[in-house]
C-alpha cells in the first residue's frame, strides 16, 4: 500500500476509491435487479465472479428476465464486451509478459481501469493504476453484488434509485480532464468523442442496449486520421 501511495499519489488513489464506491452502488443494483426479477441469488454472484463486466451482465440478465433464451443472453453480453478488444491493444504494455498476468489483466479490464491507464504516460504509474483500479473494482463490485442479491427480495422498484447513472457519470468525470488539455492529439480525440456521442445518441432509439456504444467507435476514424502535412514554401 505504501508503494502504491508513492507511485500513484493521493489524488489518483482517491479517484480510484471513488470509482470503486460508485461501481459498488451499481453492483448492488445489479444484484437486487436480478433477484427481484426472479433469478436465484447465486446467479448474479457467480456471473459477477466469472464475467466481471457490468454492462454485459445487465444486458444478459435483461434478456433472460424478458423471456429470452440463454444463448441470446450470452450473445448480448459478447456483443457489448466487444468494445474491450481495442482497449486490450491500447494498454497491452501494462499487463506484463507472463501468460497468467495477461489472462488476469484481461479479466480485470474495465472501462474505468482503462481510463486511469490512458490518462498517464509514465509506464510505472500506468501499471500501478491499472492493477489498483482493476483489483479494487473486482473486490468492491462482487461484494456489492452479494449484498444486493441478499436485499433483492425486499426491494421494489430498483430503477427509482437511479443507480444506473453512476457508470456514465464516473466515466465522464475521468475522461473530461484529459480531453480539456490543449494539444493536437486531444483536438482529434475531442472530434472523435463528439462524433461517437452523436452516433450513439442517434442510434439509441432504434437499437438494443449496448449496440449504440459499439457504433460510437465510428468516431475513431477521426482520431486515427493523420493531420495533413503543411505545404513546403519556397525560400526566396
The predicted model gives 189-202 an average pLDDT of 79
Task: Concatenate the DSSP letters of all residues of 16-41 into one string.
Answer: HHHHHHHHHHHHHHHHHHHHHTT--T
Q: Is a pLDDT exceeding 50 seen at residue 14?
A: yes
Q: Looking at the predicted structure, is the pLDDT value of residue 236 above 70?
A: no
67-126 pLDDT, tens digit each: 767 787 787 778 777 777 777 777 888 887 788 888 898 899 988 888 888 877 888 888
Q: What integer best gives the mean pLDDT of the chain?
A: 76
Distances in Å between the Cα of 128 and the Cα atoms of 14, 93, 139, 232 are 14, 12, 17, 44
In this prediction, residue 137 has a pLDDT band, given cuts at 50, 70 and 90, of very high
203 and 215 in contact (C-beta within 8 Å)? yes
Alpha carbons 64 and 131: distance in angstroms, whole number: 32
pLDDT score at 98 = 82
Amino acid at each position: 500500500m505504501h508503494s502504491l501511495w508513492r507511485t500513484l499519489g493521493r489524488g489518483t488513489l482517491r479517484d480510484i476509491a471513488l470509482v470503486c464506491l460508485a461501481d459498488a452502488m451499481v453492483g448492488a443494483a445489479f444484484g437486487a435487479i436480478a433477484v427481484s426479477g426472479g433469478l436465484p441469488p447465486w446467479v448474479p454472484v457467480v456471473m459477477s465472479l466469472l464475467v466481471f463486466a457490468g454492462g454485459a451482465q445487465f444486458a444478459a440478465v435483461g434478456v433472460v428476465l424478458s423471456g429470452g433464451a440463454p444463448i441470446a443472453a450470452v450473445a448480448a453480453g459478447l456483443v457489448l464486451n466487444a468494445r474491450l478488444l481495442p482497449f486490450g491493444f491500447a494498454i497491452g504494455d501494462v499487463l506484463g509478459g507472463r501468460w497468467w498476468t495477461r489472462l488476469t489483466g484481461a479479466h480485470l479490464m474495465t472501462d474505468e481501469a482503462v481510463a486511469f491507464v490512458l490518462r498517464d504516460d509514465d509506464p510505472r504509474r500506468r501499471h500501478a493504476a491499472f492493477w489498483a483500479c482493476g483489483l479494487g473494482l473486482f473486490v468492491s463490485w462482487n461484494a456489492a453484488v452479494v449484498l444486493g442479491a441478499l436485499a433483492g427480495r425486499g426491494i421494489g422498484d430498483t430503477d427509482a434509485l437511479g443507480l444506473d447513472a453512476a457508470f456514465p457519470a464516473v466515466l465522464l468525470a475521468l475522461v473530461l480532464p484529459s480531453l480539456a488539455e490543449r494539444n493536437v492529439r486531444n483536438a482529434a480525440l475531442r472530434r472523435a468523442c463528439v462524433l461517437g456521442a452523436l452516433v450513439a445518441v442517434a442510434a439509441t432509439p432504434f437499437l438494443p442496449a449496448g449496440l449504440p456504444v459499439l457504433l460510437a467507435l465510428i468516431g475513431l476514424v477521426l482520431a486515427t486520421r493523420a493531420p495533413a502535412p503543411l505545404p513546403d514554401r519556397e525560400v526566396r
